[in-house]
C-alpha cells in the first residue's frame, strides 16, 4: 500500500554565519516523511541531524539560514514563512518537538498541570475546566500514576523520566501531525529509555502521527524505526527500511556505526572504532566527505562526490562502492549475518535477556 | 579465575548516609565486594542507585557511616594519617562522567595532566615532568602540541581522553571509571573503551567501572555487581550473570538493553521491576551464594526458586 507523503524536504541547504566565516551545516538534503511512519535520523554530533529537523519548525538559531531548497507541507512551502506569527500555525500545532533535556523544556515555576492545560486552552480553545480534564487524561495516558493529585506539582518534584513523559504529553496536547523527538532518551537511564521509547511507539499508533526520531544510537533505532536515514557531515549518506539498514547496510559509514556498538563487542577483542574525526564544515568538501576515514576509499572518493545509488525501491546509499566499476567489498565480519549472531547472543545458554 | 589472584580492594558492610538537617538518607547499605588485581569489576544500576556513591566513598570524597574499605589490606575509610592518605591518593585515581565539567577550563592541558605529578614530586626536573605529560598524552592518542591548549579547544571524546591521561600519569593501581562514556557519541565510546582496555593490558590496572548500561558492561568487565536503591542485589562473573540472571531487577536491566536487530527489538517484551515486598520478620533477605561466585540478595523461599532456575 502506498503511503501518502506528509512532508517533503527538497535539496535543503543550511548555512550558519560564525563570526566572519560560513559553515554549511546541511548540504542539499532531500527527505520525504510519510504518513503514520517512524523515521529515525542517525548520526554523530555535528552531522546535522538536529539542524535539519529544526528547519521544519523554523527554529534555527538566529545566525542560521536556509539558503537553498524547499520544504512542502500541506501544500505550502514552509521556507516561505517569514515571521513567528506565520510559524505559530505550524510549530507545536502541526509539528511538535520533544527535546533531549526535559528540565529545560519545562517552566520550573509553573505547575505541571497548568503547563499542559495552557497549551490545550491556547490551541484548542477549550475552557479552563475542560482543559484540566483533558490534561489529567493526557497525564494518565503518558503513564503518570495518580495524575489528578500530581497535576498541581512542580517539575522539580518529578524524576527525569517522568518529566520527559510530561513533555511528550504537552507535545501531544495539540494533536500534531508530526512529532520530532530529538534524542529524547539520551539523558535517561536504560530502563527508563526503553519505557519512553515504547510509550512514543504506542502513542504514535494511537494518535496516528508521524515520528521523526533523532539519535546517535543505532541500538534504539532497531526498536522504533520503520525507515532510517544515516547522516554524515550534513548529508544523508544512506536511507532505507530498518531491515535494509541493519541486515543489508551498504555505506561504509553505516558499517562503522554498527560495528562500533558495544552490544556486538567480543570480549578480549578491541571494539571497532571509526578512525579520525568528521570534516570541518567551514571548508569546501572535495569528493566524498567520509573518504579520509573510509578504509575502503578509492581514488575517486577524494575527487568527486558520489551520487545516491539506488539499491532497491526503498534503499539508497551515497558511496562509490556501489558503482558497477568499483571492486566488490564485503561488509566487516562483525555485522555480517547480524540476525544469526544476535540470535546466538540471546539464546538462554548464550544469554542476553534472561527471562523467556 | 579470580580466586587465585590477590585482593586489591575489599569493601565490607559499607554504608553511606547523607544528612540534610535532621533528615537522614541511606544511599548505600551493606555493600560487600572485593576487587582482584588486574580485573575489571562493574557496578551497574540506575541513577540514584548509589553506584557513584560507592566509587566516591572509596576515594573518600563521601564519608562512610558504617563498614570498612581496605586497600591492600589497609583500612582507608574514616580518619587516616597523612602518609596513608597520600598513599591512597597516589594509587587510586578516578575518571569522571562529564569530561567538560571535570577539567579546569582556565588551566592548560599541561597543567591539568601534571598537577598530580607536582603534588607528589614524581619528577626530578621540569624536562622530565614535561616528558611524562607528553607520554601520557601520546598514550591516549593526543599530540605533544595539545599540551599548551585549553580544555574548550577539544571535543568531548578528546576531553575524556585528557581525563584518562590525567589519571594514568599517576601510574595508579586502581582506576575508578564513573560512567566514562555515557556523555559520548557511539563511535567515540568505542575508542575510549579500547583505551581503558589497552592500559589494563599494559599496566595490569584494576578497573572499577560504574555504568547504567549492561551492554557496555558485558563487553568490558570480568565481574558485575547489580545495585538497586543502595543495595547490591546480585553479583557474578560476567559470563555467569548473562547466563543466569536471577534477580528480577537484573532481568529488567537486561531486557532494557537495545539490541541492533529490528526483528528481535520489535517483538521484545520489556520487564519492568517495581520492587519486591520485604517480609523482614519471618523470612528476612540476606546476601547468599547461589553458585560458586554468584551471589544474590534473597530470602529462603526465593533461594529455593533461584536454585531451581539455575542452569549449569
Written as one string, the DSSP assignment of B37-99 is TT-EEEEE--TTSSHHHHHHHHTTSS--SEEEEEETTEE-SSS--HHHHHHHHHHEEEE-S-T
Q: CA triplet A86, A90, A91: central angle to 5 degrees?
A: 100
Per-residue pLDDT at B290? 92
* Residues whose CB is less than 8 angstroms from the CB of residue A14 and which lie 6 or more positions away in sequence, other chains included: A24, A25, A26, A48, A51, A52, A55, A60, A64, A65, A66, A67, A234
The reply to whether residue A261 touches residue B254, judged by beta carbons under 8 angstroms, is no
Task: In whole angstroms, give the CA distance from residue B55 to residue A238.
Answer: 42
Q: Which of B47, B189, B250 sits opposite A354 (nearest CB)?
A: B250
The reply to whether residue A270 touches residue B212, judged by beta carbons under 8 angstroms, is no
Å between A215 CA and nearest CA of chain B: 10
Q: Which of B187, B213, B261 sits opposite A342 (nearest CB)?
A: B261
B233 phi and psi, to 5 degrees?
-100, -25
Nearest residue in A to B142, CA atom: A276
Residues in chain B closer than 8 A to A256 (CB atoms): 187
Nearest to A179, CA basis, from A199, A209, A220? A209
Neighbours of A325 (CB within 10 A): 7
Per-residue pLDDT at B279? 65
* Residues whose CB is less than 8 angstroms from the CB of residue B117 and which lie 6 or more positions away in sequence, other chains included: B123, B129, B132, B133, B169, B170
Residues in chain B closer than 8 A to A195 (CB atoms): 270, 272
Burial class (CB in 10 A: 0-12, 13-18, 19+), A26: buried
Å between A318 CA and nearest CA of chain B: 20
Under 8 Å between Cβ of B285 and B306 = no
Per-residue pLDDT at A235? 96
Task: In whole angstroms, give the CA distance from residue B287 to residue B233.
Answer: 8
Lookup: cell for B16: 553511606
Lookup: cell for B154: 577539544
H helices of A184-322, in order, are 190-207, 218-224, 242-247, 252-259
Task: In whole angstroms, give the CA distance from residue A270 to residue A178.
Answer: 40
Distances in Å between the Cα of B286 and the Cα atoms of A59, A102, B199, B229 are 55, 38, 37, 15
Å between B59 CA and nearest CA of chain A: 24
Task: In whole angstroms, give the CA distance from residue A7 to residue A28.
Answer: 16
**By the CB < 8 Å criterion, does A145 face chain B?**
no
Chain A, 260 to 279: residues with Cβ < 8 Å from chain B are 260-267, 270-274, 277
Longest CA pairwise span in chain A (Å): 68
DSSP codes of every residue in B108-139: -HHHHHHHHHHHTT--SSHHHHHHHHHHHHHH
Å between A141 CA and nearest CA of chain B: 18
Residues in chain A closer than 8 A to B236 (CB atoms): none
Torsion angle in degrees (nearest 10) through CA of A57, A59, A65, A68: -20
DSSP B148: G
Per-residue pLDDT at A1? 58
The reply to whether residue A355 touches residue B255, judged by beta carbons under 8 angstroms, is yes
Nearest residue in A to B260, CA atom: A219
The reply to whether residue A219 touches residue B259, judged by beta carbons under 8 angstroms, is yes
Under 8 Å between Cβ of B55 and B4 = no
Task: In whole angstroms, give the CA distance from residue B256 to residue B127.
Answer: 51
Nearest to A166, CA basis, from A248, A99, A265? A99
Å between B24 CA and nearest CA of chain A: 19
Residues in chain A closer than 8 A to B270 (CB atoms): 194-195, 198
Task: In whole angstroms, give the CA distance from residue A78 to residue A82.
Answer: 9
- What kind and span of H or E run contains A11? strand A5-18
Spans in chain A with pLDDT lower than 70: 1, 347-356
Please name every residue paired with B41 in a beta bridge, in sequence order, or none if there are none.
B208, B223
Task: In whole angstroms, give the CA distance from residue A40 to residue A214.
Answer: 6
Under 8 Å between Cβ of A162 and A168 = no
**By the CB < 8 Å criterion, does A162 face chain B?**
no
The reply to whether residue A352 touches residue B259, judged by beta carbons under 8 angstroms, is yes
H helices of B106-247, in order, are 109-119, 126-139, 156-168, 186-203, 214-220, 238-243
The reply to whether residue A45 touches residue B189, judged by beta carbons under 8 angstroms, is no
Q: Which domains does chain B have, with CATH numbers?
A: 7-309 (3.40.50.300)
**By the CB < 8 Å criterion, does A52 face chain B?**
no
Q: Which of A194, A266, A271 sits opposite B193 (nearest CB)?
A: A271
The reply to whether residue A191 touches residue B257, judged by beta carbons under 8 angstroms, is no
Under 8 Å between Cβ of A175 and B236 = no
Å between A354 CA and nearest CA of chain B: 6
Task: In whole angstroms, give the CA distance from residue A213 to residue B266.
Answer: 16
Best to test chain A binding among B100, B201, B258, B272 (most A CBs inside 10 Å)? B258
Give the global pTM. Answer: 0.88
Å between B260 CA and nearest CA of chain A: 4
Under 8 Å between Cβ of A191 and B253 = yes
Task: In whole angstroms, give the CA distance from residue B203 to residue B169.
Answer: 12
Per-residue pLDDT at B273? 86
Lookup: cell for A199: 510509550
The three-state secondary structure class of B205 is coil
Determine the length of chain A. Answer: 356
**By the CB < 8 Å criterion, does A103 face chain B?**
no
The three-state secondary structure class of B309 is helix
Interface A-B, measured as beta-carbon pairs within 8 A, has a size of 162
Q: Which of B47, B255, B263 sits opposite A353 (nearest CB)?
A: B255
Under 8 Å between Cβ of B61 and B69 = no
Chain A, 307 to 336: residues with Cβ < 8 Å from chain B are none
The three-state secondary structure class of B151 is helix
Nearest to B40, CA basis, from A303, A267, A24, A95? A267
Lookup: cell for A312: 532497491
Nearest to A56, CA basis, from A94, A100, A4, A1? A94
Under 8 Å between Cβ of A34 and A4 = yes
- Residue tagged 534503499 (cell numbers): A315
Spans in chain B with pLDDT lower than 50: 1-2
Amino acid at each position: 500500500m502506498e503511503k501518502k507523503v506528509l512532508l517533503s524536504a527538497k535539496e535543503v541547504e543550511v548555512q550558519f554565519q560564525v563570526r566572519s566565516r560560513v559553515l554549511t551545516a546541511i548540504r542539499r538534503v532531500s527527505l520525504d516523511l510519510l504518513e503514520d511512519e517512524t523515521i529515525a535520523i542517525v548520526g554523530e554530533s555535528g552531522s546535522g541531524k538536529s539542524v535539519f529537523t529544526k528547519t521544519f519548525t523554523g527554529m534555527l538559531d538566529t545566525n542560521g539560514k536556509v539558503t537553498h531548497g524547499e520544504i512542502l507541507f500541506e501544500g505550502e512551502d514552509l521556507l516561505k514563512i517569514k515571521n513567528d506569527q506565520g510559524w505559530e500555525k505550524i510549530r507545536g500545532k502541526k509539528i511538535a518537538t520533544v527535546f533531549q533535556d526535559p528540565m529545560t523544556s519545562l517552566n520550573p515555576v509553573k505547575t505541571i498541570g497548568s503547563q499542559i492545560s495552557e497549551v490545550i486552552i491556547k490551541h484548542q480553545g477549550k475552557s479552563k475546566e475542560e482543559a484540566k480534564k483533558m490534561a489529567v487524561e493526557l497525564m494518565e495516558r503518558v503513564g503518570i500514576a495518580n495524575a489528578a493529585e500530581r497535576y498541581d506539582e512542580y517539575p522539580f518534584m518529578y524524576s527525569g523520566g517522568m518529566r520527559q513523559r510530561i513533555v511528550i504529553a504537552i507535545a501531544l496536547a495539540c494533536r500534531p501531525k508530526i512529532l520530532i523527538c530529538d534524542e529524547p532518551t539520551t539523558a535517561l537511564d536504560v530502563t527508563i529509555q526503553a519505557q519512553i521509547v515504547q510509550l512514543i511507539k504506542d502513542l504514535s499508533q494511537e494518535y496516528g502521527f508521524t515520528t521523526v526520531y533523532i539519535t546517535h544510537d543505532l541500538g534504539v533505532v532497531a526498536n522504533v524505526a520503520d525507515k532510517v536515514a544515516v547522516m554524515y557531515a550534513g548529508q544523508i549518506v544512506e536511507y532505507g527500511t530498518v531491515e535494509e539498514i541493519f541486515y543489508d547496510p551498504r555505506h561504509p559509514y553505516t558499517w562503522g556505526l554498527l560495528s562500533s556498538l558495544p552490544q556486538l563487542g567480543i570480549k578480549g577483542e578491541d571494539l571497532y572504532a571509526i578512525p579520525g574525526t568528521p570534516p570541518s564544515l567551514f571548508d569546501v568538501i572535495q569528493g566524498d566527505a567520509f573518504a579520509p576515514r573510509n578504509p575502503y576509499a578509492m581514488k575517486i572518493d577524494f575527487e568527486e562526490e558520489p551520487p545516491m545509488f539506488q539499491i532497491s525501491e526503498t534503499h539508497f546509499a551515497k558511496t562509490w562502492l556501489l558503482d558497477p566499476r568499483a571492486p566488490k567489498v564485503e561488509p566487516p565480519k562483525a555485522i555480517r549475518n547480524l540476525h544469526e549472531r544476535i540470535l546466538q547472543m540471546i539464546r538462554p545458554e548464550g544469554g542476553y535477556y534472561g527471562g523467556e | 579465575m579470580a580466586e587465585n589472584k590477590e585482593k586489591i580492594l575489599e569493601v565490607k558492610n559499607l554504608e553511606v548516609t547523607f544528612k540534610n538537617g535532621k533528615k537522614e538518607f541511606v544511599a548505600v547499605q551493606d555493600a560487600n565486594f572485593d576487587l582482584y588485581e588486574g580485573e575489571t569489576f562493574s557496578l551497574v544500576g540506575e541513577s540514584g542507585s548509589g553506584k557513584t556513591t560507592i566509587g566516591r566513598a572509596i576515594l573518600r570524597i563521601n564519608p562512610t557511616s558504617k563498614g570498612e574499605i581496605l586497600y591492600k589490606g589497609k583500612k582507608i575509610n574514616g580518619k587516616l594519617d597523612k602518609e596513608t592518605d597520600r598513599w591512597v591518593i597516589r594509587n587510586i585515581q578516578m575518571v569522571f562522567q562529564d569530561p567538560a565539567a571535570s577539567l579546569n577550563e582556565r588551566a592548560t592541558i599541561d597543567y591539568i595532566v601534571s598537577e598530580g605529578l607536582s603534588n607528589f614530586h614524581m619528577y626530578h626536573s621540569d624536562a622530565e615532568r614535561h616528558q611524562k605529560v607528553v607520554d601520557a598524552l601520546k598514550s591516549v592518542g593526543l599530540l605533544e602540541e595539545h599540551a599548551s591548549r585549553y580544555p574548550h579547544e577539544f571535543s568531548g571524546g578528546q576531553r575524556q581522553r585528557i581525563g584518562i591521561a590525567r589519571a594514568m600519569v599517576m601510574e595508579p593501581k586502581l582506576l575508578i571509571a564513573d560512567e566514562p562514556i555515557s556523555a559520548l557519541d557511539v563511535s567515540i565510546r568505542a575508542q575510549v573503551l579500547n583505551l581503558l582496555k589497552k592500559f589494563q593490558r599494559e599496566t595490569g590496572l584494576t578497573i572499577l567501572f560504574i555504568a547504567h548500561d549492561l551492554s557496555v558492561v558485558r563487553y568490558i568487565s570480568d565481574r558485575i555487581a547489580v545495585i538497586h536503591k543502595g543495595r547490591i542485589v546480585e553479583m557474578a562473573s560476567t559470563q555467569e550473570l548473562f547466563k543466569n540472571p536471577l534477580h528480577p531487577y537484573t532481568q529488567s536491566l537486561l531486557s532494557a538493553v537495545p539490541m541492533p536487530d529490528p526483528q528481535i527489538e520489535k517483538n521484545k517484551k520489556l520487564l519492568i521491576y517495581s520492587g519486591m515486598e520485604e517480609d523482614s520478620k519471618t523470612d528476612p533477605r540476606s546476601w547468599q551464594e547461589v553458585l560458586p561466585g554468584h551471589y544474590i540478595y534473597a530470602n529462603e523461599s526465593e533461594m529455593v526458586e533461584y536454585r531451581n532456575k539455575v542452569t549449569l
